[in-house]
Amino acid sequence: MILLSTVMHFYTQVTIDVASPEAGVIQKFLAKEGETVEPGTKIAVISKSGEGATHVAPSESAGEKAASPPPPAEKVEEKQKPKAEAAPAAEKPKAPSPPPPPPPKRSATEPQLPPKDRERRIPMTRLRKRVAARLKDSQNTFALLTTFNEVDMTNLMKLRSDYKDAFVEKHGVKLGLMSGFVKAAVSGLQNQPIINAVIDGDDIIYRDYVDISIAVGTPKGLVVPVIRNAENMNFADIEKEINTLAKKANDGSISIDEMAGGTFTISNGGVYGSLLSTPIINPPQSAILGMHSIVSRPMVVGGNVVPRPMMYIALTYDHRLIDGREAVFFLRRIKDVVEDPRRLLLDI
């Protein structure tokens, strides 16, 4: 069976296989590469051995018209024959010709800039177009506001260093910093449930579960797989799920269902060296946490200036729903838990 590839839309896009209804050879494509098609649209024509052509994914679409047989040659010839000339009528004075119409305006999709030397024009991928549209919709819809804080990473890094070997031996996965931030985010969302909520018309929907989206940069673009029911996971469960989803995202095997939903997003720009940023909310969520690079900076501890591994963290939130008080308390909870992970054990 021949498999044809097309693109489906969600928050991010993935490539999925479209199965041909019968075995055969592709005769021609009815949809161009990169073109947006609706489900059920004919995208190709296949021919079977000794039989006529068969269309893939039939629907009432433009492809159906393209595949219709040409009119008989006799009818074409009849149409091309000139009609008998009518008897000449009395000549009338010609009216002045109207002015030429103004040149049509360029559409948004047409190139606006003339070509120049040492420049290359490459069409945007469907994924990049979708991400751009979603992020612009976020800016146009939400009342975006960002608050910042800084975290001393000393204790979380020491926890990882002290138990990394035992953790790998027991759980078969490395202990990273992301699981600590996921656990801290769960604690913060439970303490400030409005940040885990969303506006729906004139209502507010509160979620009694925590599905955390983790932004992952891939060679094809940004995808955001979801860790579901993170409130029920321990450090090992979170690390295993992150590794599984990240691997699928990078090799292109992640599914739409694995990226759907999510109540809160964590984006770690620190892996690329970002010192500070203002992340954009992932619709229809209401907030996003931005992590950044760890930098050794002089800090005052116990009256003494000592070097500490510090990270700036940022929370961008929808100010229509979340007040500054809740946002600051949430970010403060992230700081407290990361700086002293024992709080999770004692639930304080």
> What amino acid positions are annotated as catalytic residues?
319, 323
Residue type present at position 259 = M
**Would you mind telling me the total number of residues written for the chain in this entry?**
348
Tokens (6 digits) for 213: 């989206």
Please tell me whether residue 213 adopts helix, strand or coil conformation. strand
Q: In whole angstroms, give the CA distance from residue 15 to residue 223.
A: 13
Contacts of 214 (CB under 8 A, 6+ apart): 178, 182, 224, 225, 226, 227, 242, 245, 246, 265, 266
Phi first, then psi, for residue 181 (nearest 5°) are -75, -35
103-to-96, 99, 106 alpha-carbon distances in Å: 21, 12, 9
47-to-29, 67, 220 alpha-carbon distances in Å: 12, 13, 33
CB 168 within 8 A of CB 175: yes
Please tell me whether residue 248 adopts helix, strand or coil conformation. helix
CB 332 within 8 A of CB 318: no
Report which secondary-structure segment, H or E, holds 149: strand 144-152
CB 233 within 8 A of CB 149: no
Please tell me whether residue 212 adopts helix, strand or coil conformation. strand
Phi first, then psi, for residue 94 (nearest 5°) are -75, 135
Alpha helix segments (H runs only) across 111-234: 126-141, 154-171, 178-191
Give the number of C-alpha atoms closer than 13 A to the C-alpha of residue 340, restricted to the C-beta side: 8
Q: In whole angstroms, give the CA distance from residue 312 to residue 3.
A: 47
Report which secondary-structure segment, H or E, holds 250: helix 235-251
